[in-house]
Amino acid sequence: MAEANKAALITDASHPAAEAIALKLEKEGIVVIKNYPYMPSKADKDFSFDTSSLQEMKNLIDAIVAAKYNLNFLIHTDNAIMRSNIEDISEQLFKEVMDYNAKSAFITSKVFGEYIAQNSGGSIVYLSTIHDEKPTGCAFAYSVAKGAVKMLCKELALFYGRKGIRVNLVEADYMLEQKKLLDSFLSPFNYDAETKIPLRRLVTAEDIAGVVSFLISEEAAFVNGETIRVDGGHLLYYGDR
Amino acid sequence: MTNRLYGKVALITGGGKGIGAGISKALAAEGAKVVFNYNSNPSMAEKTMADIKEAGGEAFTMYTDVADRAQVDAMIAKTVELYGGIDILVNNAAWQPNMDIDEYTEDDYERIMEINLGGYFRCIQAALPYLKQSSCPRIINISSIHGIRPGDFDVCYSMTKGGIKMLTREAALEFAKYGITVNEILPGGIKIEFKSGQTHPFKRKHIDRPRKYDLSFIKPGMPEDVANVVVFLAMSSSQHINGASIIVDGGAVLL
């Protein structure tokens, strides 16, 4: 799939799909750079920089250059789901969720998009969620932030597209690890998901890794500004009332 | 005046100029008591006030920065003090600096998020106790066609509009139990006055190129075109429309 001798940055390697993405890319000969913005890094070669800080991301670029990585791919995986409703969420929590999910996408794209365009070329992939279209009923700030990321992707497909950088987004259904976080008394979407999804199972990390791998590969050379939904057909279900 | 909204109280953010002024005037013309805030242009707000009063409507305007929670709370309190409640909240106030990602500073990003998205969230949350008491409560979010289609002139503006789409859908779901409907309107190009020194974003990027085809059948929209949809959504006859995104662009997105 993707070319060898290239490097990909996973912005939040604690995402439940990150390990599968890393394994998939490494099998294809891509060096994977892991960042852990919300926890200490797991290995000496990993990084732990705040993805929603412009200065921290500039520091990460410096560290990547110092380590002599040839960075080509930005894979934005920051994905913080916090249960909240509009009626009583605090200003602080609203901003935190927005920053975790949307500001991190903006800042990492601003810093690394330009860097990749000026150096060896490559592409950007946002690992997002079906909840940039489907409301959660339990984590509104999360879906608001992901709705913003969806438009960031489309705008940057124009802006960076002219510089040869493709920008795409994966709308993933929730994985088993995320299921409890998205249980809602307002939306029945989550109930019995395995029976509503035509393929009769939840999405796996490997499902997501395959699409991410495709999007950064040469086989997707003319795919730009696109959203690929990886939900087994879940969003086609209508009528659980 | 046709009085289809007689007795209702409407709060319109950024209702003093542009599309917002068209909405303020239309709601007042339908008999609603209108409160709108301004931020950057008090003279246009005064003109909108004068237009409403000349047409026989009732309105009040005040300075409010929707990025500031205390000021939003004060605006809501003033509306309730003047008119006894809130039936219709129209979120409209927005900042559009027309910058690409390489031009945006971190502070610019924070500012546009606090106004365009935070302001909508903040006004909804602050107005909610009063909307819950209304017999026909409505939240109408003015978004943009750039909530679904990139504009290529302001990356963060589009981000905020994409966020408003999901804010609308989440609020529609969450507040259905209160009988509050929440919808968004996505205007395309609307003919509004630009401040002196301000340049149309397409001209700034030199992409207002000569057109090969005659597209004059797509007329530029006017604030009234958006306001008419707001009025419809504010009426009781729209009660089964909830969580919807209504494009008002004359079909331009189809080109």
Q: Where are the domains of chain B?
A: 9-254
Topology given in CATH for the domain delimited by A7-236: Rossmann fold (3.40.50)
- As a whole number, the mean pLDDT across chain A is 94
* Virtual torsion, Cα B249, B243, A129, A63, nearest 10 deg: 60
Is B157 catalytic? The answer is: yes
Q: Is the pLDDT of residue B249 over 50?
A: yes
Matching residue, tokens 């991190």: A104
Q: Of the ranges A40-49, A207-216, B99-108, B221-230, which one carries the lowest mean pLDDT score?
A: A40-49
Matching residue, tokens 């495709």: A214
For residue A40, the model assigns a pLDDT of 81
What the block records as the tokens of B86 is 């809130």
Residue B202 pLDDT level (bands cut at 50, 70, 90): low
Q: A148-177 burial, b if ≥16 CB within 10 A, otherwise e?
A: bbbbbbbbbbbbbeeeebbbbbbbbbbbee
Q: List own/partner pairs for A229-233 with CB under 8 A and 24 or more apart.
A: A229/A130, A229/A171, A230/A170, A230/A171, A230/A172, A230/A173, A230/A203, A231/A130, A231/A171, A231/A172, A231/A173, A231/A197, A231/A203, A232/A173, A232/A197, A232/A198, A232/A199, A232/A201, A232/A202, A232/A203, A233/A197, A233/A198, A233/A199
Q: What is the pLDDT of residues A91-121, one digit of tens each?
A: 999 999 999 999 999 999 999 999 999 998 9
Q: What is the pLDDT of residues A147-197, one digit of tens each?
A: 999 999 999 999 999 999 999 999 999 999 998 889 888 888 888 888 899
Nearest to A136 among B106, B162, B170 (CB): B170
User: Cβ separation of A145 and B163 shorter than 8 Å?
Assistant: yes
Topology given in CATH for the domain delimited by B9-254: Rossmann fold (3.40.50)
Catalytic residue, candidates A100, A126, A142, A174: A142
* Cβ(A157)–Cβ(A123) below 8 Å: no
User: Cβ separation of A147 and B124 shorter than 8 Å?
Assistant: no
Q: Is the pLDDT of residue A2 over 50?
A: no
Q: Where are the domains of chain A?
A: 7-236
Q: Which amino acid is at B41?
A: N
A175 torsion bin: left (phi>0), alpha (psi -120 to 50), beta (else): beta
- Cβ contacts from A onto B, under 8 A: 126
What is the distance between the alpha carbons of residues B91 and A171, in angstroms, rounded to a whole number?
28
- Chain B residues closer than 8 Å to A157 by CB: 150
Q: Best mutation site among A144, A149, A153, A162 for testing chain B: the one with the most B CBs within 10 Å? A: A144
For residue B29, the model assigns a pLDDT of 97
Nearest CA in chain B to A93: B118
Where are the extended beta strands (E) located within A11-119? 31-34, 71-76
- As a whole number, the mean pLDDT across chain B is 93
For residue A110, the model assigns a pLDDT of 98
Fill in the DSSP letter of residue A109.
I
- Chain A residues closer than 8 Å to B174 by CB: 85-87, 137, 140, 186
